[in-house]
Amino acid sequence: MDGSTDGTLRRALKARHITMIALGGTIGTGLFVALGGSLSSAGAGGTLTAYLAIGIMVYFLMTSLGEMSTYMPVSGSFETYASRFIDPALGFALGWNYWINWAVTLASELVAAAMIIQFWFPDTSSFFWSALFLIILVLLNVLSAQLYGESEFWFAGIKVVTVIVFLLLGVGIILGILGGGPPVGFENWQAGDGLFPGGMFATFSVFLIAGYSFMGTEVVGVAAGESANPRQDVPKAIHTVFWRILLFYIGTILVIGFLMPYNDPDLLKSGLEAIGVSPFTLVFERAGMAVAASVMNAVILTAVLSCGNTGLYAGSRMLYALALEGKAPKFLARTSLRGVPYMSVAFTAVIGMMAFLTSVAGTGKVYVWLVNGAGLTSFIAWLGIAWSHYRFRRAYIAQGHSIQELPYASKFFPLGPWIGMGICAVVIIGQAVFFFAESEIDWGGLIVTYSSIPLFLGLFLWYKKKHNTHMLKLEEVDFSIPADVLKKRE
């Protein structure tokens, strides 16, 4: 493929692409499948509390990211911001850690897709399906950024429609219009031990799961580097996505809370191997949809491929940005004539080939290993976003600028970044507490989950020692804006 090494990306993503990219990265198996297990362990009250808390934190983080990415829309996003506003070594560590997260997530989603497709074709090879899906995702990403945006628009659209139909059917059953039964009261909310059957510990365990369910919202900051009009598109996407996600998640929890008690056996231990007990499947079946399992299986497959699609995009753009700044091999900054960093796409896709191990080690085992390998990297990235915004705003004021000069300003500074950093720190520490609170400690799971932290620290210390970097003074912060953004503003 013909290309250049000037690192030029085309700003081909429209407002609807940006919105759906952020939305599609958060509505997935965490909502469609795992929510049943959360409700069964913490009850409707505990689950609502956890998702509301994480939703508020995500809003603060997204407004922080929105302020920086509208002022400086670059594909490196918070890697670039951390390098410019805090310490180049921190940006290096955040960038590589984030790339590893999405590269491993891509592999895990390919494995999950192979597991799901065997619902219809149980005797086929996982290797074949993983390879086929990887080829499809590479083509969607390598041909053009607009094609990726368009594919993600439709992937996310399917998920959004599914949630809306679910909510409408659920309300119909609650009111007695559908399902052949009388209107539903509050009996299920009061069943057993009430709203918080597992107490604070169970609620906190769902708190962690809720955080993973919201992962991917930060991709809108990465996509800002290819947005046709980042000053308008990014703030709009941030606000609309937050409210839609909050409506979808909270609305879904409320509907399930009315229709099923937390101790309903069908809610226990939902998983990819048990599509039939997905809360969505159960509600569709109660509304008279006999093919609910097949429909939800298809939707969940779409959700998994959407996440893999986003993983390949976000990972390749972060790798490209690292190469452009001299923090990764230069050839990874090579772009095609259509402005796609095809070498970074290919390099990220190679990690996706880890999915092929499923034919040797067993699909379920490899899937769990890959998901655990992703670990806490998204929480580390969120910490980096909040800290970068705190430093950005302080340096901006210190250098004589006014808040009114910003294209978009977060209304919650400094409260927003402080809350973001605080909750992320609690989640990272709390995950370890959760492991040690179990009657039998899963040492293997603990080690794999926390492998991202020594990796992050190792990258940070290595770069810091090699380049003798330091935490930048507020007066040293670089606010120069990319040339293509300046040209568009003129």
Higher-confidence position of 10 and 203: 203
* Model pLDDT for residues 122-176, shown as the tens digit of each residue: 788 777 888 888 898 888 888 877 777 888 888 888 888 888 888 888 888 888 8
User: What does the pLDDT read at residue 396?
Assistant: 94
Residues 129/114, Cβ–Cβ less than 8 Å? yes
Non-local (6+) Cβ contacts of 24 within 8 A are: 152, 155, 156, 159, 216, 306, 307, 309, 310
- 489 band by pLDDT with thresholds 50, 70 and 90: very low
Question: Which SS3 state, helix, strand or coil, does residue 180 take?
Answer: coil
User: What does the pLDDT read at residue 388?
Assistant: 94
Look over the chain and give the mean of its residue pLDDT values, rounded to a whole number: 79
Q: In 9-41, which positions are buried (b, 16+ CB within 10 angstroms) versus exposed (e)?
A: bbbbbbbebbbbbbbbbbbbbbbbbbbbbbbbb
| Domain residue ranges of the chain, discontinuous segments joined by + | 3-468
- CATH superfamily label, 3-468: Amino acid/polyamine transporter I (1.20.1740.10)
Q: Is the pLDDT of residue 342 over 80?
A: yes
- 458 band by pLDDT with thresholds 50, 70 and 90: very high
Terminal Cα distance for the chain, rounded: 34
User: What does the pLDDT read at residue 87?
Assistant: 94
User: What does the pLDDT read at residue 461?
Assistant: 95
Asked which of 48-52, 99-103, 221-225, 251-255 is least confident by mean pLDDT, the reply is 221-225
User: What does the pLDDT read at residue 172?
Assistant: 86
The first and second tokens of residue 301, run together, are 């497959």
Question: Which SS3 state, helix, strand or coil, does residue 439 take?
Answer: coil
The pTM assigned to this predicted structure is 0.84
